[in-house]
Amino acid sequence: MSVAARPQLSHLRALESEAIHVMREVAAEFERPVLLFSGGKDSIVLLRLAEKAFRPAPFPFPLMHVDTGHNFPEVIEFRDRRVAELGERLIVASVQESIDSGRAVEEKGPRASRNRLQTVTLLDAIAQHGFDAAFGGARRDEERARAKERVFSFRDEFGQWDPKSQRPELWNLYNGRIHKGENVRVFPLSNWTELDVWEYIDSEQLEVPSIYFAHEREVFSRDGMLYAWRDGTELIDGEKVFNETVRYRTVGDMSCTGGVRSQAQTLEEVVLEIAATRITERGETRADDRVSEAAMEDRKKAGYF
């Protein structure tokens, strides 16, 4: 192996180093961590950071996906391929099973979403496997409640976040002490922005699911967003299905994640588009955050990521 020249540290490499430090702290201080992998861009970055933190050894934790059953098929296919490449273990926690067993109740109507139900499945899986720490790809630039959240976000035995009494978090000293039944959500990408994530994916040449690039798809327009049409989608009066060239800025449920009109077909083109965008990713693509001024804060208090 060739020996590299004198290192230069860009802000991206500084953020990378900080995230690797966080991951190793978790591995060293928790009994049973887990990394939540959705197949989305942020968790794709988390997997690369885990490789950087722990190779040549295997990851000291399994991966877990909370599968709503409404995911884009391209993302599920990508998820399984990436996990196989890494040779790591994936646990799939199924929202459908939570519904079938009566733990969660499906919402009804054309605007039904499984977004809220994910929390039930996630908390059940954390309890069932005895996980005491869970890595997530959330970033503080995403949303106002997240801007306040710690890197180590303490959750009580009901999985709840209490924004008014968070543990002070100083320097790079993280307090991971918990009692049995409690857990900590850990966000190594806290200080990254959406643009950082794409620049990192580009610089590392990481593969991402095809839906992040411009493609033609059957969509319908609702509340100013373009949703993917699939079998079984209930349309409201006047809504029509049409073909449009779109890409996705976030990967969530098909039922609540909107596409954006785009021609970006390569990583470089996506980076350029994000650098020039005038709308936040959640504002543009996530119906779940539009419910109220404090939609995310309320969901996090209930145990959401």
Partner 1 sequence: MTLDLLRFTTAGSVDDGKSTLIGRLLYDSKQVLDDQLEHVALASERRGGEGTLDLALLTDGLRAEREQGITIDVAYRYFATAKRRFIIADCPGHHQYTRNMVTGASTADVSVVLLDARRGVLEQSKRHAFISALLGIPHMIVAINKMDLVDYSQERFEELVEEFEGFAAKLSRGPGKLSAGSEQASPRPEMTYIPISALNGDNVVERSELMPWYDGPAHPVLLDVLEQVDVAYDHPYDRPARFPVQWVIRPSGGIGVNGNGSSSDYRGYSGQLASGALRLGEEVAVLPGGGRSRIAAIDTYDGELEEAMAPMSLTLRLEDELDISRGEMICRPEEVPVVAQEIEADICWMDEKPLRAGSRYLVKHTSRSAMAVVDEIGEIVDVHTLERDAPPLELALNDIARVRLRTSAPLVFDPYTSNRRTGSFILIDESSNRTVGAGMITDAT
Distance CA 160, CA 40 (A): 24
Which of 96, 160, 175, 233 contacts partner 1 by CB under 8 A? 175
Residue numbers 283-302 binding partner 1 by CB under 8 A: 283-284, 293-294, 297
Which of 163, 207, 265, 291 contacts partner 1 by CB under 8 A? 163
Which of 4, 216, 232, 237 contacts partner 1 by CB under 8 A? 4
**261 is a site residue for partner 1 (CB under 8 A):** no
**243 is a site residue for partner 1 (CB under 8 A):** no
Give least dist CB 139 to partner 1, A: 9
Residues in the chain: 305
Residue numbers 24-43 binding partner 1 by CB under 8 A: 24-25, 27-28
∠31-302-187 over CA atoms, to 5°? 45
Give least dist CB 51 to partner 1, A: 6
Map tokens 């967003």 to a residue: 225
The string over 7-26, giving b where at least 16 C-beta atoms fall within 10 Å of a residue's C-beta and e elsewhere, is eeeeebeebbebbbebbebb
Pairs from 258-262 (Cβ < 8 Å, separation ≥ 24): 258/225, 258/226, 258/227, 258/284, 258/285, 258/286, 258/287, 259/211, 259/217, 259/219, 259/226, 259/227, 259/228, 259/285, 260/226, 260/284, 260/285, 261/226, 262/214
Considering beta carbons, is residue 104 or 186 the nearer one to partner 1?
186
What is the binding site for partner 1 (CB under 8 A)? 1-11, 13-18, 20-21, 24-25, 27-28, 51-58, 87, 140-141, 144-145, 147-148, 163-164, 166-173, 175, 177-179, 190-191, 193, 195-196, 277-280, 283-284, 293-294, 297
